[in-house]
């Protein structure tokens, strides 16, 4: 972690007696979503803050700051760890943050209204390419949909962003593929077919016609959440399928549009391009899994329990593992899976922060 150059920063005396820096995200309290603890790192060269959970409310919303706490200063490096008491995901309703320098005597209810106390500020752009188009999204919209609050996820009766459901559903496919393979040894044909059915439900989704073609008349397996099954991982017809599969929705829609936005910084653009390429590879693996699972499902009992079934079940389990955790070749090169993609998408929610100076003042309204 780089240390702060105090001589160059307006808060160069921030470690003096009785003074401290405070971090204020802003939130609309009517929303409640899961979050993880956030670690804030203040860097000198890029003036960047990296959050593990998220940030502050849009300028279009009423001023409603959340006090996160006092930054800890150690050898010119400022850090803060914050976990919301109600487990709210700050990114869902927050797009900005502000660091102020104020008295350490008490915790303020709101940041100082005096701009001279403002030290650092950052925001995700809320500028939409076409404000008249409801499907025109700002950088903040894209990041929020990916990580905290997507309208299609909400319409399915779920909460959270696209990324977490891509991760969770891929993990379940790995679980089902492994248990189907293991059940082959004990001759559990009915169990194997139930697990294969679950895999197809998560790949196809229930709201598009592909599932009816793949498994005609096959009801939702016992124990499966019908809301989770509404959105598949794969997309079969982008023009007609609504909602789109998670992989296409994340890659071709959100990441593609993030790359096009002028407000996207160079690191975010490079990262979005890389993640999209990785998603294309994973999509191919899932298509292979789907082909193999449908072949297994159609096998007669004797073939499913024989060498053909054993070989193909092993293949599906291996592909599911590869899709989840990635693959390492003989040269040690890693082809990322959903686990790596999951963490890479979180890195898109990284602020570029700037110092508030007389020549370059910060505006919070």
* 196 and 300 both lie in a single domain: yes
The answer to whether residue 109 is domain-embedded is yes
The answer to the question of residue 197 being in a domain is yes
pLDDT tens-place string over residues 89-139? 888 888 888 888 887 777 777 778 888 888 888 889 999 999 999 899 999
Domain contains 8:
no
Looking at the fold, whether 234 and 189 belong to one and the same domain comes out as yes
**Residues 193-220 pLDDT 10s:** 999 999 999 999 999 999 999 999 889 9
Is residue 17 very low, low, confident or very high in pLDDT (cuts 50, 70, 90)?
very low
| Burial state string for 213-237 with b = 16 or more CB within 10 A and e = fewer than 16 | ebbeeeeebeebeeebbbbbbbbbe
Task: Please report the pLDDT score of residue 60 as a whole number.
Answer: 66
Q: How far apart are CA 267 and CA 252, in angstroms?
A: 19
Tell me: do 112 and 261 sit in the same domain: no
Q: Do residues 120 and 170 share a domain?
A: no
Residues above pLDDT 70, as percent of the chain:
82
One domain for residues 238 and 150: yes
Note whether 119 and 148 are same-domain residues. no
Q: With a threshold of 0.85, does the pTM exceed it?
A: no
Indicate whether 130 belongs to any domain. no
Residues 75 and 45 placed together within one structural domain of the fold: yes
Sign of CA dihedral 158, 153, 255, 321: positive
Is 77 in the same domain as 205?
Answer: no
Return d(Cα 184, Cα 316) in angstroms, integer.
13
Q: Is residue 12 part of a domain?
A: no
Does residue 71 lie in a domain region? yes
What's the confidence (pLDDT) of residue 216? 92
Domain-embedded: residue 204: yes
Looking at the structure of the chain, the number of domains it has is 2
Q: Does 288 lie in the same domain as 236?
A: yes
| 55 and 98 both lie in a single domain | yes
User: Are 254 and 146 in contact, with CB atoms under 8 Å apart?
Assistant: yes
The span from the CA of 302 to the CA of 294, in Å, is 16
Determine the structural domain holding residue 101 and report its residue range.
19-124+351-355
Asked if 146 and 114 sit in the same domain, the reply is no
Residue 2: what pLDDT?
33
User: What is the three-class DSSP state of 129?
Assistant: coil
Residues 86, 189: one domain? no
Dihedrals φ, ψ of 69, to 5°? 135, 180
Q: Is residue 9 domain-resident? A: no
pLDDT band at 53 (very low <50, low <70, confident <90, very high): very low
């Amino acid at each position: 972690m780089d240390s702060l150059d105090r001589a160059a920063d307006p808060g160069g005396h921030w470690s003096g007696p009785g003074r401290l820096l405070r971090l204020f995200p802003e939130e609309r309290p009517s929303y409640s979503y899961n979050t993880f603890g956030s670690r804030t790192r203040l860097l000198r060269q890029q003036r960047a803050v990296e959050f593990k959970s998220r940030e502050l409310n849009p300028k279009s919303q009423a001023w409603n700051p959340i006090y996160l706490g006092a930054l800890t200063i150690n050898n010119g490096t400022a850090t803060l760890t914050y976990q919301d008491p109600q487990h709210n995901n700050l990114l869902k309703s927050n797009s900005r943050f502000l660091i102020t320098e104020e008295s350490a005597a008490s915790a303020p209810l709101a940041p100082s209204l005096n701009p001279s106390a403002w030290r650092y500020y950052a925001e995700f752009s809320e500028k939409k390419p076409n404000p008249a188009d409801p499907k025109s999204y700002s950088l903040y919209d894209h990041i929020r949909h990916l990580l905290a609050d997507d309208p299609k996820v909400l319409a399915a009766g779920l909460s959270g962003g696209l990324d977490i459901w891509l991760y969770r559903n891929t993990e379940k496919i790995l679980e089902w593929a492994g248990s189907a393979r293991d059940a082959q040894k004990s001759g559990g044909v009915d169990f194997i077919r139930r697990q294969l059915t679950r895999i197809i439900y998560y790949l196809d989704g229930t709201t598009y016609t592909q599932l009816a073609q793949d498994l005609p008349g096959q009801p939702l397996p016992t124990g499966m959440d019908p809301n989770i099954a509404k959105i598949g991982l794969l997309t079969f017809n982008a023009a007609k399928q609504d909602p789109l599969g998670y992989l296409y929705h994340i890659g071709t829609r959100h990441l593609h549009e993030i790359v096009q936005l002028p407000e996207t910084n160079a690191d975010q653009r490079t990262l979005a391009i890389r993640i999209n390429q990785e998603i294309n590879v994973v999509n191919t693996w899932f298509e292979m899994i789907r082909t193999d699972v449908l072949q297994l499902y159609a096998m007669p009992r004797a073939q499913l329990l024989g060498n053909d079934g054993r070989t193909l079940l092993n293949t599906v389990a291996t592909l599911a593992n590869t899709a989840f955790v990635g693959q390492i070749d003989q040269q040690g090169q890693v082809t990322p899976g959903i686990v790596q993609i999951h963490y890479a998408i979180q890195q898109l929610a990284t602020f570029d922060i700037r110092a508030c100076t007389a020549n370059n003042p910060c505006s919070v309204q």
